[in-house]
Amino acid sequence: MRRMLWVPRQIERFLRVVEGIATALTMGLAILVFVNVLLRYVFGMSAMAVQELQWYFHAFGFLLAMAPALWIDRHVRIDTFYARFPTSWQRWVNVGGTFFFLLPFAGLVIWASYDFVAYSFSIREASPNPGGLPALFVFKAVLPLSFFLLVLAAIGLLWRWLSNLDEDSGRKEGGL
């Protein structure tokens, strides 16, 4: 039984690292916004690279936070019946939603973004803006990566739900 816990625990440990990266990006975003405002309104300068970094830090923060948010059950859930269900029913709603909605959608995004990212890497795409970021292709790779992390989190959760390892699968408080 203890060996069965190993996979979900390793996924959880990894998602803690991802959560830390998303947090750092969000903090970095706040610093970049401050620097951008300072440059623009105090020094009368504008740096396109700083503005583009703001966009990417914002996007990365959200994209990378998807998997940890799913893991700790802090994702958006609009369901008027779910909260009233017993824990066993909630587990089956989670399993069904993961199998029939989350995994197919995440797979579709990964598949659809492959050519987009591969082409960007093949031409070493850079920002079209003067003074913009030189390695735009690296930033585009975060899209399929974030959905791969979401699939990884879903697999770990399915493992827990289907093996009944986590009696408190509907936990609402706490972190990873």
> Percentage of the chain with pLDDT > 90?
61
User: Where do the domains of the chain lie?
Assistant: 3-163
pLDDT tens per residue across span 136-173: 899 999 999 999 999 999 999 999 888 874 455 444 44
Q: What is the pLDDT of residue 161?
A: 86
Torsion of CA 10, 170, 89, 4, to 10 degrees: 20
Helix (H, G, I), strand (E, B) or coil at 149: helix
Residue whose entry in the numeric block shows the structure tokens 């269900």: 85
Do residues 117 and 140 touch, judged by C-beta distance below 8 A? yes
The helix-helix angle for 142-163 and 87-97 (nearest 10°) equals: 140
User: What's the pLDDT at 27?
Assistant: 96
The answer to whether 60 and 18 have CB atoms below 8 angstroms apart is: no
pLDDT at site 132 = 87
Tens of pLDDT, residue by residue over 92-134, are: 999 999 999 999 999 999 999 999 999 999 999 999 988 888 8
How far is CA 100 from each of CA 25, 26, 91, 104, 158, rounded to the nearest angstrom? 31, 31, 14, 6, 12
pLDDT band at residue 75 under the 50/70/90 scheme: confident
Q: What was the pLDDT predicted at 71?
A: 94
DSSP result, 26-57: HHHHHHHHHHHHIIIIIS----HHHHHHHHHH
Q: What is the model's pTM?
A: 0.85
The alpha carbon of residue 4 and the mean position of all alpha carbons in its chain are separated, in whole angstroms, by 25
- Res 167: pLDDT: 55
- pLDDT at position 70: 95
Separation between Cα atoms, residue 39 and residue 60, nearest integer Å: 23
